[in-house]
């Protein structure tokens, strides 16, 4: 042996206490003086420590497995009926008649009543258990095989049920050493198998071999380090040469292992991915749930008549569980309505995706996988119900039931699921009924609650829409009236001045008619000046009138003024007002090409009031008696509301200041209103986008199936919503 | 089965019955871990790790039980979970009070000491199948090298012996490398 290996051997002997006397002393001294050797010893000790851990693992796993199985059994699992389950953890000595099997000795006839035995029958000692045929019994072998033996499962040769004492015998070969030592093969008709464990069962009553009632099977769980797919149960055929050939394979139904339901993903395929692409925090389950479950409101069938923008709600019509998307004015030019029968109501997912369904078939990775496919199914709601109505059955049976529906192209997928032979999670009939009732009640409640929240929200929005409309109408009326009054007043001022310049006496002006065509005209010249003044005022062009008789001129100048607000685009809104001293109301200056332009009447003094709105604050500039010229780069300064009012009062008289304040208040309200509308539009855009990703079977949108990313061409239908915000909230108690 | 019985079973190598008994303490541990931000899977992993640490400890010559076995086991689980939370950069939700009769410093030392053994276990798991099978047959199956040689197709007992030490050498070298890079453990 190479020197290094000899060193390892010596270290092993030291650590095992097999090194003694002087040899040990010398070696310890050598270790003390040699750091390399010290490192070797330390590492080898660690390896042995690791080996100890490895050797403990199977026992611990067995104990874990047994613990879970016992707890599961005690909760009424394994399909066992009745009470009086006797749990055995030790071997019993058979206390009835002389045992037929004892150690490695064998009865004359085997379990099939024949004289043939294999070498393995003699090589492996029997473990005998005394079982009461009339009671449910659980047995654990030395190797950890757990057997659930239901009451009345044994039949004698005449087919009669056996009660009383039964000798139940097990021989097991679960590890490689035992299999090899006992001459057992791992071949089936010459083909090599990978074994998960071998065992032999026999049951005797008064020496006679018993059969097992096929309607009451014995349930066996063989411990394993890892479950491998494709494991089957083979029956052993004794061959003439004493070997055993494995034949008649049957798929093993392996029980499903429930996991924490809150770790599973029941959203539609790619739902979270799309949300992540849109910038949402998909780790926030409260948010992602809110986005998804809010769509349950779309499953309420609207029987009542639509009145204006209010959509009246009815109760959930269970006969017609279809998705209905409606949008009413003012958020859409037309009232849109589309429906899809294939969509799963998110309220149904909410009803099952909770702790109520822990430790059921729903709380398994296997169901999670199927749900991803169900979301795409053309009969998605019905397919989901097939699973939910059969929670006590093995999954492969439910898969077959699902495949038997008219699923068209989806049938193949469910048949493939069935072929996996996935088992069940045991629940009692009582639990099944309770869960069904819970589900049926809850999904309807959630749907109505979601619809109610939506209705309340949009109802409120409709009220606000109406109020805003009223406010705008009133403002429009008031503004028009104010403009008319201003016009009349300015006309009057201009006409008076024009007449004065021409030489008309004031007394003549007293009879000046109002600026309409309903009075008699006395003097031709007067009529012309009237028209000239009106025309000049209407166009805000300089009046330059010459009296035909006297040759006297009347000139009233209009001079342009412009205002340019610094950084105007940074504000949500900017307004510029001129407050004339001789008119009752302010003038709203129009914006043209980035500037606010007007023409000033030389007969009137104007004060300037500029206001900008940004982030809920007001920014102001004021100036008295402005000149008719360009006013560039006007800086607005932030000012609280009360100061604005004071500024206005200093700028003009109380009455006009009040009017400007009212206008200011209106503009602020309009700003908020625009934000509200924008948010609602954004909300609807988000809802429409969510509909496309939440209901993959939606008509007209071909979203990719699971395990395939959506193609680029499809993304035109699934655009990131513009400045999307959270949807209409789903209240906590829904 | 009393605590003393469980200890005797463990020291005698009769682990199955002892483990079955110890597993009855699992629900309390699961409750503690879930209440402190863990999942059921976390609880299973922590409990099984704690069982390994406890059993190795109980087998130590001279080990004396001061508090109950369940108290010891629970304390180990707590400390393991606190360590895990630190690794995950999370805080425990529930403040743990002292457990009567247990020197937490001793348990912390046991847990720290087990770090290397965990690494060694992983090294062994990743060994070639024949190496691992040989070691398991020898140490777990307690088979004689002569029988191992026959079973695994080696030409002689010596060949099997050589092979066993080669497998140990392979594992030891990997562990040495790790120890060199992690001197703090």
Of A723, A717, A676, A725, the C-alpha closest to A330 is: A676
Euclidean distance between CA atoms A366 and B87, whole angstroms: 31
Helix (H, G, I), strand (E, B) or coil at A223: coil
pTM for the model stands at 0.52
CB A203 within 8 Å of CB A129: no
Helix (H, G, I), strand (E, B) or coil at A580: strand
SS3 assignment for A50-96: HHHHHHHHHHHHHHHHHHHHHHHHHCCCCCCCCCCCEECCCCCCCCC
- CB contacts, 8 Å: B44 with chain A: 64
pLDDT in tens, A366-407: 899 999 989 887 788 889 999 999 998 999 889 988 888 766
**Crossing angle for the helix pair A641-651 and A654-694, nearest 10 degrees?**
140
Mean pLDDT of B69-96: 77
pLDDT of residue A324: 59
Answer yes or no: do A40 and B176 touch at CB < 8 A. yes
Cβ under 8 Å to B: A residues 97-116:
none
pLDDT of residue A726: 42
pLDDT of residue A309: 34
Answer yes or no: do B51 and A49 touch at CB < 8 A. no
pLDDT of residue A633: 94
pLDDT of residue A612: 95
Please tell me if residue A727 touches chain B, with a CB cutoff of 8 Å. Answer: no
Helix (H, G, I), strand (E, B) or coil at A471: helix
Query: Which residues of chain A have a pLDDT value below 70?
Result: 69-99, 221, 223-231, 253-255, 301-340, 406-409, 505-527, 698-734
Please tell me if residue A725 touches chain B, with a CB cutoff of 8 Å. Answer: no
- CB contacts, 8 Å: B123 with chain A: 47, 50
Answer yes or no: do B26 and A67 touch at CB < 8 A. yes
CB A600 within 8 Å of CB A623: no
pLDDT of residue A25: 92
Interface TM-score (ipTM) > 0.85: yes
Is B146 or A94 the better-scoring residue by pLDDT? B146
- The mean pLDDT value of chain B amounts to 82
pLDDT of residue A294: 92
Euclidean distance between CA atoms A457 and A680, whole angstroms: 10
Answer yes or no: do A56 and B117 touch at CB < 8 A. no
CB A232 within 8 Å of CB A195: no
For the record, the structure tokens of A306 come out as 């639509």
CB atoms within 10 A of CB A122: 14
Q: In what order do the strands lie in the sheet with A595-601?
A: A590-592, A595-601, A558-565, A630-634
For the record, the structure tokens of A563 come out as 């205002």
């Amino acid at each position: 042996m190479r020197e290094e290996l000899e060193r390892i051997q010596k270290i092993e002997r030291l650590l095992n206490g097999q090194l003694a006397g002087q040899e040990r002393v010398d070696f310890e001294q050598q270790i003390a003086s040699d750091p390399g050797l010290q490192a070797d010893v330390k590492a080898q000790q660690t390896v042995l420590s690791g080996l100890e851990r490895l050797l403990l693992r199977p026992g611990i796993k067995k104990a874990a497995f047994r613990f879970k199985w016992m707890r599961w059994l005690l909760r009424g699992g394994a399909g066992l009926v009745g009470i009086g389950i006797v749990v055995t953890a030790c071997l019993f000595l058979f206390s009835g008649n002389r045992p037929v099997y004892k150690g490695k000795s064998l009865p004359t006839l085997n379990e099939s009543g024949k004289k043939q035995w294999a070498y393995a029958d003699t090589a492996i000692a029997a473990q005998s258990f005394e079982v009461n045929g009339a009671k449910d019994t659980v047995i654990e072998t030395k190797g950890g095989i757990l057997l659930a033996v239901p009451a009345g499962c044994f039949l004698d040769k005449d087919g009669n049920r056996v009660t009383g004492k039964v000798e139940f015998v097990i021989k097991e070969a679960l590890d490689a050493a035992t299999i090899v030592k006992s001459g057992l093969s791992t071949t089936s008709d010459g083909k090599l198998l990978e074994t998960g464990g071998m065992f032999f069962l026999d049951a005797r009553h008064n020496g006679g071999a018993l059969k097992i009632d096929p309607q009451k099977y014995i349930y066996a769980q063989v411990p394993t380090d890892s479950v491998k797919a494709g494991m089957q149960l083979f029956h052993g055929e004794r061959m003439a040469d004493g070997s055993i050939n494995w034949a008649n394979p049957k798929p093993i139904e392996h029980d499903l292992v429930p996991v924490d339901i809150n770790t599973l993903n029941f959203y539609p395929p790619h739902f979270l991915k799309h949300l992540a692409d849109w910038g949402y925090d998909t780790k926030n389950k409260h948010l992602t749930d809110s986005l998804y479950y809010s769509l349950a409101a779309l499953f309420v069938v609207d029987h009542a008549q639509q009145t204006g923008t209010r959509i009246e709600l009815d109760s959930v019509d269970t006969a017609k569980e279809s998705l209905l998307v409606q949008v009413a004015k003012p958020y859409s030019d037309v009232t849109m309505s589309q429906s899809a029968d294939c969509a799963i109501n998110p309220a149904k997912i909410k009803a099952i995706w909770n702790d109520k369904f822990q430790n059921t078939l729903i709380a398994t990775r296997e169901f999670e996988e199927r749900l991803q496919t169900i979301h795409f199914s053309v009969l998605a709601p019905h397919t989901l119900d097939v699973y939910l109505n059969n929670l006590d059955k093995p999954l492969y049976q439910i898969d077959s039931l699902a495949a038997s529906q008219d699923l068209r192209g989806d049938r193949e997928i469910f048949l493939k699921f069935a072929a996996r032979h996935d088992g069940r999670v045991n629940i009692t009939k009582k639990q099944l009924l309770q869960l069904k009732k819970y589900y049926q009640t809850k999904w309807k409640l959630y749907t109505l609650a979601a619809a109610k929240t939506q209705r309340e929200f949009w109802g409120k929005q409709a009220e606000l829409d109406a109020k805003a409309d009223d406010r705008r109408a009133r403002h429009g009326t008031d503004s028009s009236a104010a403009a008319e009054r201003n016009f009349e007043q300015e006309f009057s001022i201009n006409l008076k001045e024009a007449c004065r310049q021409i030489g008309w006496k004031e007394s003549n002006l007293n009879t000046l008619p109002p600026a309409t065509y309903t009075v008699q005209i006395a003097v031709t010249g007067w009529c012309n000046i009237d028209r000239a003044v009106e025309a000049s005022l209407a166009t805000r062009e300089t009046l330059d009138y010459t009296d035909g008789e006297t040759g006297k001129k009347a000139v009233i100048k209009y001079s342009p003024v412009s205002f340019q607000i610094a950084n105007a685009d940074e504000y949500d809104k900017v307004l510029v007002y001129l407050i004339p001293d001789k008119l009752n109301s302010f003038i709203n200056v129009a914006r043209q090409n980035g500037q606010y332009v007007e023409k000033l009447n030389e007969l009137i003094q104007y004060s300037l009031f500029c206001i900008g709105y940004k982030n809920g604050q007001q920014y102001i500039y004021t100036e008295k008696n402005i000149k008719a010229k360009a006013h560039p780069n006007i800086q607005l300064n932030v000012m609280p509301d009360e100061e604005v009012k004071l500024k206005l009062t200093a700028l003009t008289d109380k009455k006009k200041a009040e009017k400007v304040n009212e206008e200011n208040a209106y503009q602020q309200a309009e700003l908020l209103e625009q934000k509200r509308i924008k948010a609602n539009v954004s909300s609807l855009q988000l809802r429409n986008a969510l509909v496309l990703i939440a209901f993959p079977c939606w008509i007209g949108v071909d979203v990719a199936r699971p395990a395939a990313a959506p193609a680029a061409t499809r993304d035109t239908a699934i655009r990131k919503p513009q400045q999307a915000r959270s949807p209409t909230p789903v209240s906590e108690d829904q | 089965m009393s605590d003393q019985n469980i200890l005797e079973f463990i020291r005698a190598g009769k682990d199955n019955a002892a483990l079955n008994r110890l597993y009855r303490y699992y629900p309390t541990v699961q409750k503690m871990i879930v209440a402190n931000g863990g999942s059921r899977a976390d609880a299973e992993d922590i409990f099984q790790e704690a069982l390994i640490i406890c059993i190795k400890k109980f087998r130590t010559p001279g080990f004396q039980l001061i508090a109950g076995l369940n108290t010891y086991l629970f304390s180990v689980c707590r400390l393991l979970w606190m360590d895990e939370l630190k690794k995950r950069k999370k805080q425990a939700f529930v403040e743990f009070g002292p457990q009567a009769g247990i020197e937490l410093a001793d348990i912390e030392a046991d847990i720290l000491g087990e770090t290397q053994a965990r690494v060694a276990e992983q090294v062994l798991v990743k060994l070639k199948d024949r190496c691992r099978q040989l070691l398991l047959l020898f140490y777990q199956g307690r088979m004689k090298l002569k029988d191992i040689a026959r079973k695994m197709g080696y030409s002689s007992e010596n060949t099997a012996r050589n092979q066993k030490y080669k497998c140990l050498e392979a594992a030891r070298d990997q562990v040495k490398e790790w120890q060199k890079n992690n001197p703090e453990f």
